[in-house]
């Protein structure tokens, strides 16, 4: 009996994920952004949404959430990555997943520190030029 219970628990843990190593399976409304741009995002209260940026860690992309937005307006759920293909260096998309909360405004800044390494600071002139932010102005209506 104990062996069957342990096996069932293990099976539940293995199947509880959302597939592909993803923490969430529902990205909600996806809003695309890019380094150097500001995107206006309008969502109703209680809606899941994702802020997406082109991502290719194999060439040095390293996107991070600069600061968590006002939690009364939008709550951060997770950061996800999806590859565009199986070939090495094929790139993909980074998704920063949120739930909208109360009416209001907040700003989300995503920073791509290109080839920065562990210290998250551009160490070369090329890294400084290739690094930048994607800004999302969030309005919950």
Which domain does 81 fall in, by range? 27-140
**104 domain residue, yes or no:** yes
Number of domains in the chain: 1
Q: Do the domain assignments include residue 118?
A: yes
The CATH number of the domain holding residue 52 is 2.60.40.2020
Q: In the predicted model, is pLDDT for residue 20 greater than 70?
A: no
In a domain, 15, yes or no: no
- Whether residue 22 is contained in a domain is answered as no
Mean pLDDT over 15-25 rounds to 51
Reference 114, options 97, 134, 98; nearest CA is 134
- The verdict on residue 11 lying in a domain is no
Query: Largest Cα–Cα distance of the chain, in whole Å?
Result: 63
Render pLDDT for 28-59 as a digit per residue (tens, 0 to 9): 999 999 999 999 999 999 999 999 999 998 88
66-87 pLDDT, tens digit per residue, is 988 999 999 999 999 998 877 7
* 89 within a domain of the structure (yes/no): yes
In-domain check, residue 114: yes
In a domain, 43, yes or no: yes
Phi, psi of 69 (to 5 degrees): -70, 175
Instruction: Compute the distance between CA of residue 80 and CA of residue 135 in angstroms, rounded to an integer.
Output: 18
For tokens 């209680």, the residue is: 46
Q: What secondary structure letter does DSSP report for 103?
A: S
> What is d(CA 28, CA 135) in angstroms, rounded to the nearest whole number?
19
Q: The tokens 């290109």 sit on which residue?
A: 114
Better-scored residue on pLDDT, 61 or 137: 137
DSSP string over 14-78: HHSS-STT-S-S---EEEE--TT-EEEEEE-TT-EEEEEEEE-GGGT--EEESS---TTTEEEEE
């Amino acid at each position: 009996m104990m062996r069957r219970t342990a096996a069932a628990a293990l099976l539940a843990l293995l199947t509880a994920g959302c597939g592909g190593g993803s923490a969430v399976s529902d990205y909600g409304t996806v809003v695309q952004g890019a380094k150097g741009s500001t995107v206006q995002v309008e969502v109703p209260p209680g809606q899941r949404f994702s802020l997406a940026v082109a991502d290719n860690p194999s060439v040095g992309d390293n996107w991070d959430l600069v600061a968590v937005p006002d939690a009364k307006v939008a709550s951060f759920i997770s950061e996800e990555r999806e590859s565009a293909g199986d070939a090495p260096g094929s790139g993909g998309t980074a998704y920063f997943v949120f739930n909208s909360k109360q009416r209001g405004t907040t700003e989300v800044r995503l920073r791509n520190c290109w080839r920065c390494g562990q210290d998250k600071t551009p160490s070369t002139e090329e890294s400084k030029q290739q690094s930048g932010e994607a800004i999302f102005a969030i309005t919950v209506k």
